[in-house]
């Protein structure tokens, strides 16, 4: 019998400035640097969970932008699906991150990709990071030149990596997208 997947949500959190920075959190249990994310509570919407988890883990209030995509991977014998939204850090909450987070670090995109412990999160951030950075409000004058784009990352062996879904645009959840797609197909066949 198929097991219900573990549902999670999180954010690619950007702090604006002359050089935008992305938040990574260090887990207390294994010292791994990861993207801020966590499990959904019972009957909690993914977008609500993403905001709650990011605020709890980073100590920053955020403004939520577009849906960026999802990653899936195995945790023990179960599948875990984590959806991500682009977020902009607004201000500190005045509270320390939760006990399961040892530290928060703000890094430029390339440094954040290198710092991430999980290869799947590295690949995901490499794919959606530029889009997340483009969502934030610029702080510098528009005449400031941007550094050239980084060299392309070598293509992964798709057969060895879990699923990565990168959303086109919008704030819709990946699961809502699937539901709408299957609902449309059923209606079109009738």
Which tens digit of pLDDT belongs to each residue from 137-154?
654 434 444 444 444 444
Residue 118's alpha-carbon distances to 12, 24, 46, 49, 162, in angstroms, are: 15, 12, 22, 21, 12
The structural domains of the chain, with segments of one domain joined by +, span: 6-141+153-189
Mode of pairing for the β-strands spanning 37-39 and 101-107:
unpaired
The contacts of residue 177 (CB under 8 Å, 6+ apart) are 167
Residue 100 has pLDDT above 80, yes or no: yes
Q: How do residues 55-71 score in pLDDT, each as one tens digit?
A: 999 999 999 999 999 99
Token couple for 133: 């950075």
In the predicted model, what is the mean pLDDT of residues 4-17? 94
Question: Among candidates 27, 63, 25, 29, which has minimal Cα distance to 47?
Answer: 63
What is the fold, at CATH topology level, of the domain defined by 6-141+153-189?
A: Nucleoside Triphosphate Pyrophosphohydrolase (3.90.79)
Q: Is the pLDDT of residue 187 over 80?
A: no
Q: How confident is the model at residue 135 (pLDDT cuts 50, 70, 90)?
A: confident
pLDDT band at 186 (very low <50, low <70, confident <90, very high): very low
- pLDDT value at 85 more than 60: yes
Residue with tokens 């709890």: 56
């Amino acid at each position: 019998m198929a097991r219900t997947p573990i549902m999670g949500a999180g954010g690619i959190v950007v702090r604006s400035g002359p050089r935008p920075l992305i938040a990574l959190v260090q887990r207390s249990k294994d010292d791994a640097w990861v993207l801020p994310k966590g499990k959904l509570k019972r009957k909690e919407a993914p977008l609500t969970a993403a905001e709650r988890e990011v605020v709890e883990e980073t100590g920053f209030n955020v403004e939520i932008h577009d849906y960026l995509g999802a990653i899936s991977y195995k945790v023990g014998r179960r599948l875990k699906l984590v959806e991500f939204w682009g977020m902009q850090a607004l201000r500190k909450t005045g509270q320390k991150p939760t006990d399961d987070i040892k530290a928060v670090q703000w890094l430029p995109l390339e440094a954040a990709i290198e710092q991430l412990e999980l290869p799947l999160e590295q690949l995901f951030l490499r794919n959606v990071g530029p889009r997340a950075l483009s969502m934030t409000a610029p702080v510098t004058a528009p005449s400031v030149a941007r550094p050239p784009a980084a060299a392309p990352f070598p293509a992964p062996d798709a057969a060895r990596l879990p699923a990565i879904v990168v959303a086109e645009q919008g704030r819709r959840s990946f699961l809502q997208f699937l539901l709408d797609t299957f609902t449309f197909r059923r209606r079109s066949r009738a």
